[in-house]
Structure 1
Amino acid sequence: MIRFGKLLLTPAIEKRIEIEEIKPIPFFGRFNVFQKTSKWAAYIDKYLLFHKTLRRRLEDMNRIIDLVHIVDHSNSLYSSGIKKHSSARCLVTCHDLIAVRTSLGEFNEAPLTSKTGIKLQAWIYNSLKYADYYACDSIQTKRDLNRLIANSLNLSDVIHLGTTGRQENHLTRKIEKDSFLFDPEQCDYILHVGSDSWYKNRISVVKSFIKACKTQPERKLKLIFVGPVLQVHESSLEIENWIKANKDRVLFLNNVKEEVLNYLYSNASLLLFPSFIEGFGWPPLEANIRGCQVICSRVGALGEILDKIATFIDPRNQKQINHAVCNLLNNPNQKRDSQKTLIPSIESCLGKYQELYLKLINNGTSA
């Protein structure tokens, strides 16, 4: 997770600990121009070449390495090499275990994992046991980890990721509205932020939006996706026909800058986030901080942090989602004061990781 890795490199955590980042550098990936083989070229760089690079760094007698932090559990396959070639302790952050659980057939909604995908996830799964300690983004992820990895219960803690607070940034006032096909300040719109992964459940977002439009035809509602266009698994013939007949009502925005996203949060009627599963769940937290009403599933850290703030729904209950959307659209004054919500800050996240680093370096076993 690039965003998380950059967060850990900020000066706030470097004050007491010397930190060095090491990551795979594209080699074969630089020369591969064919989409079908680019993934395999990246795998060679990541899973073959980088193992050798990491080994050389660990065996460098001129440097003493006390702790290696694997910032995403999908890279846990390096953990056995870390234990073999150094005396450094190994910390793994588990953002979620969705891919591992999907390969084990734990989700009915998920597409079947390919044969190579199953082998890769099994490699990741079996490598997790070599870590000395685990940091999880949410209680839900920790429960999954403790269920899947023996003896991890007392070697794991929950550290919520940090979120930037409300900022009256002058840039939001200077955003070029011409870059949009609508005026966020004058438009009545429902927002979704996320990818086209199966667990995002975007088809339920579209269904509830269409229902709201039919229930309240007098409103010129729009649905704004910050993410890719709908894929086959996210649509149906009925949905496709409706969108074709109402092209100006469903819009997709890609490569959105942070200040633009914050602007969209601030002006949206509500954020709808009915995911089947999440590791943490950044968008609802970011939306809440910026005064946007949130409807979401009780997944990831959302139930822990937005317990009495968000409107929670069952992602498998379309009628409940539809009702929640129509209810908030009809009662806009239900917006809560986001200032009362204890959203984890970046400073808090950094502080907890720094404490964990120091305890592990000093051979502690709890944060």
Structure 2
Amino acid sequence: MKIAYDAKRFFHNASGLGNYSRDLVRILATNFTVNQYFLLNKNKSDRGKEVQKLPNVSFVKTSSGKFARQFKMGKDAQNLNADIFHGLSGELPLKWNEKPIKKIVTIHDLIFKRFPDYYSWFDRKIHFWKFKKAAEASDLVIAISEQTKNDIIHFLKVPGNKIRVVYQGCHQAFKEFIFPEFLNQTKEKFNLPERFVLNVGTIEKRKNLLNVVKALEGTNIPLVVVGKKTKYFNKIEKFISKKKLEVFFLKNVSMEELAAIYRLADVLVYPSFFEGFGIPVIEGLFSGTPVITSNTSSLPEAGGNAALYIDPKNPLDLRSKILYLWENESERKRRSELGFQYAQKFTDEVIAKELMKVYEEVLK
């Protein structure tokens, strides 16, 4: 089987869609070695270099020119005699030739429909048009959660029998043994406190960091934050300096260091208002870190019976759950073990089989 990917995000997105793209190709190429996997883009980068080195993965330089991704990439895939073209980020090329090829698109979320205030009018229109067009042109749609599947049915009017749910996994670094020396090095490098609560994700309104700092006011519990800053950060900064809270914002954290930081944390808090899936929850489960997350959107799918759930609009609810875990070592240990068991739903092997099932189905 030959599978071609729109690899723009693979090469150029540091997190989110980039991590999804790199993990998906890595998982398939290592579990189904007889297939050929083509990464199509006009240029490449060092991102995912361990994936690029796999013998069955090839970079293919696509046609150049304005809108080449939309008008030429599909034909480039067909000229490779690819059996399947997989758009990894809600998009498919608009033009194709007569050669047979099956089309699959992954849609991650429709947050722009649920929370339009977070997006400009123009971005909402463009996202909707691209996703709708791709869903209609595809032979099958992959949704990364039941929540996203329901949103695709509701907002894009795609029939449910055209959608397959395949969960995401997370980076290999979170699943591997970490030597105590590396844990200590990471702790020293970032000057981390002895005990802390961790929050991971872009510092934007939807991720709800303001309610985390509100919840920690007066508790003397240190907070460590790993995530890209946006304008919303200014609100957080004002609150922290006014209340004199102990918050550490980390920069330039490698994936291996991030995995170590999860292991060092007492609790992960991820009280997002809405997620297509919520990878940090999975990272926490694999790391054996107790997780507190929201009772909304797809987050209960990611956290299962292992996470503690809160109303993301209620900082007092979050505070009581943080204190409950912070002060209760035996409950942290129980949640850690439960979380690791639940995480086995998201192993590479499980996800690779689910993806391959979709590929085989579309070729029948």
TM-score, normalised on structure 1?
A: 0.78
The equivalent residue for 1:29 is none
Instruction: Give the deviation of 1:325 after TM superposition.
Output: 1.4
Once the two structures are superposed, the pairs formed by residues 313-328 of structure 1 within 5 Å of their partners are 313-328=310-325
Change in Cα spacing, 1:329 to 1:206, as seen in structure 2 (3 Å) is same
Residue identity in the other structure for 2:165: V
The equivalent residue for 1:125 is 131
User: Which of 354, 358, 361 is the aligned partner of 1:359?
Assistant: 361
- Matched-pair contact (CA < 8 Å) for 1:212–1:325: no
Secondary structure at 1:296 match in 2: strand
Q: Give CA-to-partner distance per residue, 1:44-76, whole Å, 9 cap, x none.
A: x8971323431541563xx42321111111x24
Instruction: Give the deviation of 1:354 after TM superposition.
Output: 1.4
Residues 1:254 and 2:251 aligned together: yes
Whole-Å separation in 1 of the counterparts to 2:164 and 2:65: 28
Q: Percent identity?
A: 22
Residues 1:148 and 2:155 aligned together: yes
- Matched-pair contact (CA < 8 Å) for 1:211–1:322: no
Whole-Å separation in 2 of the counterparts to 1:7 and 1:320: 34
Secondary structure at 1:169 match in 2: coil
- Matched-pair contact (CA < 8 Å) for 2:186–2:257: no
Whole-Å separation in 2 of the counterparts to 1:270 and 1:59: 48
Change in Cα spacing, 1:143 to 1:211, as seen in structure 2 (3 Å) is farther
Change in Cα spacing, 1:328 to 1:306, as seen in structure 2 (3 Å) is same
- Matched-pair contact (CA < 8 Å) for 2:292–2:309: yes
Whole-Å separation in 2 of the counterparts to 1:315 and 1:156: 29
- Matched-pair contact (CA < 8 Å) for 1:95–1:141: yes
The equivalent residue for 1:6 is 22
Secondary structure at 2:360 match in 1: helix
Once the two structures are superposed, the pairs formed by residues 153-172 of structure 1 within 5 Å of their partners are 153-163=160-170, 164=172, 166-170=175-179, 172=182
**Structure whose alpha-carbon radius of gyration is higher:** 1
The equivalent residue for 1:341 is 342
Whole-Å separation in 2 of the counterparts to 1:197 and 1:237: 13
The equivalent residue for 1:365 is none
- Matched-pair contact (CA < 8 Å) for 2:169–2:279: no
- Matched-pair contact (CA < 8 Å) for 1:24–1:46: no
The equivalent residue for 1:96 is 109
Residue identity in the other structure for 2:227: G
Change in Cα spacing, 1:177 to 1:129, as seen in structure 2 (3 Å) is same
Change in Cα spacing, 1:24 to 1:329, as seen in structure 2 (3 Å) is same
Change in Cα spacing, 1:142 to 1:8, as seen in structure 2 (3 Å) is same
Secondary structure at 1:188 match in 2: coil
Whole-Å separation in 2 of the counterparts to 1:8 and 1:203: 33
Residue identity in the other structure for 1:144: D
Secondary structure at 1:285 match in 2: helix
User: Which of 65, 83, 100 is the aligned partner of 1:66?
Assistant: 83
Secondary structure at 1:22 match in 2: strand
User: Which of 290, 308, 311 is the aligned partner of 1:311?
Assistant: 308
- Matched-pair contact (CA < 8 Å) for 1:13–1:354: no
Change in Cα spacing, 1:238 to 1:59, as seen in structure 2 (3 Å) is closer
The equivalent residue for 1:197 is 204
Instruction: Give the deviation of 1:228 after TM superposition.
Output: 3.2
Residue identity in the other structure for 1:168: F
Residues 1:210 and 2:213 aligned together: no
RMSD (CA atoms): 2.7
Secondary structure at 1:212 match in 2: coil
The equivalent residue for 1:107 is 115
Name which structure has the greater RCO, CA cutoff 8 Å, separation 6+.
1
Once the two structures are superposed, the pairs formed by residues 231-310 of structure 1 within 5 Å of their partners are 231-232=231-232, 235=235, 239-242=239-242, 245-246=244-245, 249-299=246-296, 301-310=298-307
The equivalent residue for 2:51 is none
User: Which of 96, 103, 116 is the aligned partner of 2:122?
Assistant: 116
Residue identity in the other structure for 1:340: Q
Shifted more, 157-166 versus 133-142: the winner is: 157-166
Q: Give CA-to-partner distance per residue, 1:137-178, whole Å, 9 cap, x none.
A: 111111111112324300111111123464223363462543
Whole-Å separation in 2 of the counterparts to 1:299 and 1:22: 36
Whole-Å separation in 2 of the counterparts to 1:234 and 1:204: 14
Secondary structure at 1:15 match in 2: coil
Secondary structure at 2:68 match in 1: helix
Q: Give CA-to-partner distance per residue, 1:2-45, whole Å, 9 cap, x none.
A: 2222223333255243221212439xxxxxxxxxxxxxxxxxx8
Change in Cα spacing, 1:125 to 1:70, as seen in structure 2 (3 Å) is closer
